[in-house]
Amino acid sequence: MTQNWRFAPHDESQVRRLSGEMRISPLLAQVLIARGLHDAASARSFIDAKMNDLLEPSSMPGIEDAAERIIAALNDKRRITIYGDYDVDGMTSTSILLQCLTLANGECDYYIPNRLEDGYGLSCDSIQTLHEEDPQRLVITVDCGITSVKEAALAKELGLELIITDHHQMSDELPEAACLVHPRLPGSTYAFPHLCGAGVALKLAWAVCQKLGDGQKASPHMREYLKCAVGLAAIGTVADVVPLLGENRVLVKYGLSAFTERAPLGLLELLKVAEIKPDQKLDTEDIGFAIAPRLNAAGRLGQARLAVELLTTTNQDRAIQLAAYLDELNKNRRTVERRILKQAKEMVDENEDWADHATLVLAHADWHPGVIGIVANRVAEHYEKPTVMIALDANSQTGQGSARSFAGFDLHAGFTGCSEHLIRYGGHQAAAGLKIAEDKIEDFRLAFAEFAASAPQPSDEELQMRIDAEVCLNEITKQSVQELDRLGPFGQENPRPQFVATRVDLAEPPRTMGEGGRHLSLVFQQHKTKIRAIAFGKGEWASQMQEDGGPFSISFAPSINKFRGFENVQLHLKDWISEKTTASIPS
């Protein structure tokens, strides 16, 4: 339990004014104000975000040059190869450009490195192979390449035309590709720097469609394609956990709507195996918990090409076959994940000296490199420390690692500070990857822990859980939650409204659910109102809350649970405090 809540200031006169001007409930008005939207104009602009709020592609650095090079390759009938990444962002990016150039009658194929054999991003071997197969081809990276200095130099030496499109953090030295497309290139004035790879790919496809049209507008046929491509970009955006604000929020908002009208065949079949009805309105949770894990399973287990095929196939039978196979891969991934998590916890328990380390670095020869990232996230949450999990390869005596942050620690900065111990590394502040020699792991473990201990610690404010408002449970009705959903789609930096209710009791004993009793199901009662709640990954709270007995102060995010045609309000319990031992809730 965090027991560290920060309530947004409450100004009753402001709430009344905004509620009256916008003809919305005081609860929605209070949440808008809590999120910095104090006046009706800014609040309406946020709630009613439009597709035309998207920035013109031409404003992104490098995109005009890239689009012209692509048009030239199309006109010259040259082969164009999309070089993608093996995560969901890379798969959807690849699918977006592949469909665009195929519809433009291009000779287009795609290459995705095998996660288990090739590792992340561009490699000199793949550049060499692509050049040997067809030295005249145009290679376009999506969601990778911005740190591939050596690989771009080889392409230039060979005379292989290379366009790099990416969104990841850059190094001090940029690759010398024929063209770079990135929203944060040095000197860039692009107004929204937080697009994921699929967002960048969509902008490039949009620019190509404009040039194939009249220079400003795409043809009707290509406009229909772009509407479908927005749906793919939405999947990549949610799966890559980029901020759901600005352009990203627009892409996801309209991408989710696009699924109901023009979802790809393969995606429809994937929804079926995930037991999501085709006429059901999708939300970000459907992507995050049903669609993305099944696509990701293919990449994690070395078969990312199949996910791209699923997203782009026009063959019904093949779509059914691929969706079923990806579903099976996901089940296998979960089995492997449970075994690795058990081993990781045992390893930490056996090494008591690690308790004093500010980080965890775990390595094992039997771990699957495609699954350790998921487990690293759960270990980081469990032990409340940034965690690196390393899968060792006995043949090469190296390890491939995945890391997840905790409490805002900058993993990329940490890896940079310990780079003398690493073969290579890359990623973001919150998630990163590395390759390391096996005999360097202990040195890295100590250096990484020392770096984290000396790094600036997050402020109390950063560690606090932001609360939009204090409410009574009888205010959390289906109608009020549906109104609050106008603030969506929800995700990173635009979470569901977070509330606190006090003097809440358990209406029945809490029970665990899911694999290994990992999750928690509860029913809360306040006066005459009862509401069901769930706490994901918090099965251990069951015995604690049962023993305490209540009453409790609870922090939660409400949503509409859809099950077998019925819709009911459900609380996602985020935190709780016993009121037996606490005089008052935190402020």
Q: Which of the following CATH numbers is that of domain 351-462: 2.40.50.100, 3.40.1710.10, 3.10.310.30, 3.90.220.20?
A: 3.10.310.30
Can you give the pLDDT at residue 586? Answer: 45
Amino acid 408: pLDDT: 84
* Local confidence band at 53 (pLDDT 50, 70, 90 cut-offs): very high
In angstroms, rounded to a whole number, what is the distance separating the alpha carbons of residues 120 and 117?
10
* pLDDT-wise least confident of 65-79, 141-155, 421-435: 421-435
The per-residue pLDDT for range 382-417, each reduced to its tens digit, is: 899 999 999 999 899 999 999 999 988 999 999 999
Q: How many CB atoms lie within 10 A of CB 75?
A: 9
How much is the pLDDT for 370?
Answer: 87
* From-to residues of CATH 3.10.310.30 in the chain: 351-462
For residue 489, say if its preceding peptide bond is cis, omega within 30 degrees of 0. yes
Integer Cα distance of 240 and 492 in angstroms: 10
Residue 463: the pLDDT is 67
Q: What's phi and psi for 538, nearest 5 deg?
A: -125, 40
| N residues, the chain | 587
Q: Tell me how far apart the alpha carbons of residues 233 and 247 are, in angstroms, rounded to a whole number.
A: 11
Residue 460's pLDDT is 63
SS (H, E, C) 383-446: HCCCEEEEEEECCCCEEEEEEECCCCCCHHHHHHHCHHHCCEEEECCCEEEEEEEHHHHHHHHH
> Quick check: helix, strand or coil at residue 362?
strand
The rounded distance, in Å, linking the Cα atoms of 436 and 423 is 5
Side chain identity at residue 371, one-letter code:
V
Question: Among 323, 253, 276, which Cα is nearest to 295's?
Answer: 323
Whether the predicted pLDDT of 9 surpasses 50 = yes
Q: What is the pTM of this model?
A: 0.90
Task: List, by residue range, all CATH 2.40.50.460 domains of the chain.
Answer: 468-578
Q: Give the least confident one: 119-128, 309-318, 487-496.
A: 119-128
Fold of 468-578: OB fold (Dihydrolipoamide Acetyltransferase, E2P) (2.40.50)
Among 13, 14, 9, 167, CA closest to 92: 167
For residue range 65-117, what is the model confidence (pLDDT) as tens digits? 999 999 999 999 999 999 999 999 999 999 999 999 999 999 999 999 887 77
Return the amino acid letter for 186. Answer: P
Is residue 45 a contact partner of residue 186, using CB atoms and an 8 Å limit? no
CB neighbour list of residue 26: distance below 8 Å, 6 or more residues apart:
15, 16, 19
Across 241-257, average pLDDT: 94
User: What is the phi/psi pair of residue 478, to 5°?
Assistant: -60, -40
Is a pLDDT exceeding 80 seen at residue 457?
no
The CATH 3.90.1640.30 portion of the chain extends over 57-218
Averaged pLDDT for residues 174-194:
96
Q: In this predicted structure, what is the pLDDT of residue 565? A: 67
Cβ(308)–Cβ(91) below 8 Å:
yes
Measured CA to CA, the distance from residue 542 to residue 540 in angstroms comes to 5
57-218 to CATH, choices 3.90.550.10, 3.40.190.10, 3.40.640.10, 3.90.1640.30: 3.90.1640.30
Count the helices and strands in the chain (H runs, E runs).
21, 19
Picking from 205-209, 490-494, 513-517, which range would have the lowest pLDDT averaged per residue?
Answer: 513-517
pLDDT at position 1:
46
In whole numbers, what is the pLDDT of the chain averaged over residues? 92
